[in-house]
Amino acid sequence: MSDNEHADELTGAQALVRSLERVGADVVFGIPGGAILPAYDPLFDSDNVRHILVRHEQGAGHAAEGYAMATGRVGVCMATSGPGATNLVTPIADAHMDSVPIVAITGQVGSAAIGTDAFQEADIRGITMPITKHSYLITKPADIASAIASAFHIAGTGRPGPVLVDITKDALQAKTRFEWPRQLDLPGYRPVTRPHGKQVREAGRLIAESRRPVLYVGGGVVKARAWSELKDLAELTGIPVVTTLMARGVFPDSHPQNMGMPGMHGTVAAVGALQRSDLLIALGTRFDDRVTGQLSTFAPLAKIIHADIDPAEISKYRVADVPIVGDCKEVISQLISLLKRERRPMIDEWVRYLQDLKRRYPTGYDEPADRTLSPQYVIKRIGEITGPDAYYAAGVGQHQMWAAHFLPWELPGRWLNSGGLGTMGYCVPAAMGAKVGRPDKMVWGIDGDGCFQMTNQELATCALEGIPIKIGVINNQSLGMVRQWQTLFYQGRYSNTDLNTHRIPDFCKLAEAMGGVGLRAESPADVDAVIEKANSINDVPVVVDFVVHKDAMVWPMVAAGTSNDEIKVARDMAPAWDQEEL
Ligand SMILES: Cc1ncc(C[n+]2csc(CCOP(=O)(O)OP(=O)(O)O)c2C)c(N)n1
């Protein structure tokens, strides 16, 4: 910091932009408006911070998430007060549920007007209090620099998450001296990253004694960037691995120890592994209800080692026999050093049992009898042609689950999806943010025709800002996942799930109207050519309308609220567990 910087008189808005430069924020996704307008003026002059003008603030928030997921850095979004800020609520909630580090900066009405129902006033701090990791309402220009420094630190450390910085218009306009904090004033915020040695030793003892252990791996391992440690631990011990929806790719699917994804739409091998385990080594995962199914019957014989950086997650649903608070990279490294000295668990019989289960119940699908296009085939081909090094985003619904199963999950950190909140509309803006963060990589969005209609306006942003993403719309002409539940649980009464998307809108024309290229595939013979064509376009966004048949269902499935033991591999078809016993 230069000495002059202390002496400089600048506006709060200039202090904000200078602070963003200081924390190394290189991209802000946002839309201006009255209260935040003072900040947009100095932003115009910044050489270091690129502002990307989105078409809806929800897009700004998900783009910040996509950027954060693809780069491991903190994503930034910006909006004005009132409706601008409330449009950020969904992505903030999304980031909170999936532990994504973002900083949301909002303008607020003048400090004297707060609480008066002033034009475009919304108590965004109050509204987002339960869905942020932390938040600030800044009314004095002198507080802006320290709030931004703290916000980035809080968002990106410990369990990552969204931080809101709401700044009043008068604080942005008034003059101040720029004082970058020498140290952050965050009493009580000291995330524990180094695990307690005694707990790790206790975990090591349980692992050595176990006969049916499973590494139950969640998104925390991705956030901790602990994939090489995970591979070492898995290979050292031979313990089978399951990777949750948020953790797909953190351990290669092609690895013989990978049993796949557990949960409501998990593989039989992964669900069976958890249910029959005698020891779950839960790493950076939170026993989500979509994984456990009916909690009282979840993994009934298993002891639990639960490692998480957030102590609030431990024993939240299932009491941990060995709780470990710490960063997964540290925890796994310490477990490795310990287990190198211990005897290996005797698990040959268990491994044989699970390998057999995996062989007999592979994730597959039936091609439609009428030779129309199957959604699973489309997704599989996108992955096979594009390869595992691309980034893949998804919307929410059937296509998300097929993407989780059928894309080539060989590399970590390549998967962006809305796991906790299940936010339709996540895909297009998240893919946009990922491409901004990783311009060198191919980015595909696998979207549903319902989800796509929620946020596709960001294609215009992509076209104008040079962000050439590819979106494959898995067009089954319906809100497919809801329709699947209606098929299974509402006697096929399809109340309000038919989107008629075969006709309206025309996704190819829509893509062209947005400044992109629109392609269509309606039969298996078209598929490879359109994917290859999409992959060859590198200047504008591409939308491929894959018109697929509407009756495909996601299998396996554990019906909501039932036990994982009730998993069905197809309608009315369950594994014969009594013949499957060890
Ligand atoms: C914002 C939002 N509204 C509603 C839902 C409930 N919902 C979950 S999946 C789904 C259907 C999604 O349809 P589509 O995008 O066509 O994907 P598909 O399931 O057909 O692959 C709906 C309505 C949701 N998850 N998010």
272-314 pLDDT tens trace: 999 999 999 999 999 999 999 999 999 999 999 999 999 999 9
CA of 453, closest atom in ligand 1: 15
Q: Which tokens sit at 119?
A: 């034009």
The helix (run of H) or strand (run of E) holding residue 486 is helix 480-489
CB of 450 sitting under 6 A from ligand 1 = yes
Please choose, from the candidates 65, 67, 29, 35, the residue with its C-alpha nearest in 3D space to the C-alpha of residue 49: 29
Mutate to test the pocket of ligand 1, among 97, 418, 479 (most ligand atoms within 8 A of CB): 479
State the catalytic residue, choosing from 58, 78, 121, 169: 169
Between the CA atoms of 363, 367, 368 and 370, what dihedral angle is there, to the nearest 10 degrees? 180
Confidence label for 579 from pLDDT (cuts 50, 70 and 90): low
- Catalytic residue at 481? yes
Residue type, 142: A
Mutate to test the pocket of ligand 1, among 451, 483, 497 (most ligand atoms within 8 A of CB): 451
CB of 428 sitting under 6 A from ligand 1 = no
Residue type, 133: K
Say if residues 373 and 382 touch (Cβ distance below 8 Å).
Answer: no
Please choose, from the candidates 140, 155, 145, 35, the residue with its C-alpha nearest in 3D space to the C-alpha of residue 84: 35
Residue for token pair 């903190």: 74
The helix (run of H) or strand (run of E) holding residue 30 is strand 27-30
pLDDT for residue 369 is more than 90: no
- Catalytic residue at 120? yes
CA of 395, closest atom in ligand 1: 15
- Catalytic residue at 57? yes
User: Buried (b) or exposed (e) across 245-277, using 16+ Cβ within 10 A?
Assistant: bbbbbbbbbeeebbbbbbbbbbbbbbbbbbbbb
Q: How far out from the chain centre does Cα 132 lie? A: 16
pLDDT of 578: 63
Tell me the angle at which helices 427-437 and 458-465 cross, rounded to the nearest 10 degrees. 20
- Sign for the CA dihedral angle at 106, 112, 115, 121 comes to negative
User: From the CA of 4, how far away is ligand 1's center (Å)?
Assistant: 54
pLDDT for residue 227 is more than 80: yes
pLDDT for residue 5 is more than 60: no
CB of 122 sitting under 6 A from ligand 1 = no
Distance CA 208, CA 339 (A): 8
CB of 91 sitting under 6 A from ligand 1 = no
Confidence label for 565 from pLDDT (cuts 50, 70 and 90): very high
Q: Which tokens sit at 527?
A: 């598929």
Compute the C-alpha angle 249/191/188, nearest 5°.
Answer: 150
Q: CA-based Rg of the chain, rounded to a whole angstrom?
A: 25
pTM of the model: 0.97
- Catalytic residue at 178? no
pLDDT of 3: 39
Confidence label for 571 from pLDDT (cuts 50, 70 and 90): confident
CB of 90 sitting under 6 A from ligand 1 = no
Distance CA 214, CA 259 (A): 10
Contacts of 233 (CB under 8 A, 6+ apart): 215, 239, 332, 335, 336, 339
pLDDT for residue 4 is more than 50: no
Mutate to test the pocket of ligand 1, among 406, 473, 481, 496 (most ligand atoms within 8 A of CB): 481
List Cα–Cα distances, 72 to 64, 169, 174, 197, 412, in angstroms. Answer: 11, 31, 34, 28, 12
Say if residues 173 and 113 touch (Cβ distance below 8 Å).
Answer: no
Confidence label for 580 from pLDDT (cuts 50, 70 and 90): low
What is residue 176's three-state secondary structure? strand
Lowest mean pLDDT among 374-378, 470-474, 560-564: 560-564
Note the pLDDT tens digit of each residue in 160-218.
999 999 999 999 999 999 999 999 999 999 999 999 999 999 999 999 999 999 999 99
State the catalytic residue, choosing from 481, 514, 553, 557: 481
The helix (run of H) or strand (run of E) holding residue 546 is strand 542-547
Contacts of 198 (CB under 8 A, 6+ apart): none
CA of 501, closest atom in ligand 1: 16
Spatial strand order in the sheet of 241-243: 241-243, 213-217, 279-283, 303-308, 322-325
pLDDT for residue 497 is more than 60: yes
Distance CA 134, CA 517 (A): 41
- Catalytic residue at 489? no
CB of 549 sitting under 6 A from ligand 1 = no
The helix (run of H) or strand (run of E) holding residue 151 is helix 144-156
- My answer on whether omega of the bond before 556 falls inside 30° of 0, hence cis, is yes
Q: Which tokens sit at 273?
A: 């592994």
Please choose, from the candidates 295, 255, 251, the residue with its C-alpha nearest in 3D space to the C-alpha of residue 274: 295
Between the CA atoms of 452, 570, 289 and 427, what dihedral angle is there, to the nearest 10 degrees? -10
pLDDT for residue 70 is more than 80: yes
Residue type, 543: V
CB atoms within 10 A of CB 315: 14
